[in-house]
Amino acid sequence: MQSIQVGEFKANLSAILEKVQKEGEKFIIEFGKKHKKIAILIPYTEERKPRKFGQLEGKIKIAENFDDENEEINKMFYESKI
């Protein structure tokens, strides 16, 4: 993890963001003559939770005729001209 002054951070923003994105590098951003640490720049990662199979079981009802074909609808899809 690198420490970087605000001025340098502003001047090299694109290059720093590229390092964060491509290399996963982290930066501590410092401010002022005393180098007060004010922020940390880290790569963003999306949190993905695995889906639980059957989580809606008992909560919804699917009609018995759900898979039945309807001739009128089939004609609209397969026989109509656009």
Q: Just give the CATH number of 2-41.
A: 3.40.1620
Element (H, E) at 4: strand 2-5
Per-residue pLDDT of the chain (82 residues; tens, 9 = 90+): 899 999 999 999 999 999 999 999 999 999 999 999 999 999 998 888 888 888 888 899 889 988 898 888 888 888 877 6
Q: Which sequence spans correspond to the domains of the chain? A: 2-41
C-alpha 40/C-alpha 37 separation (Å) is 8
pLDDT at residue number 59 = 92
State the amino acid at position 16 in one-letter form: I
pLDDT at residue number 82 = 66
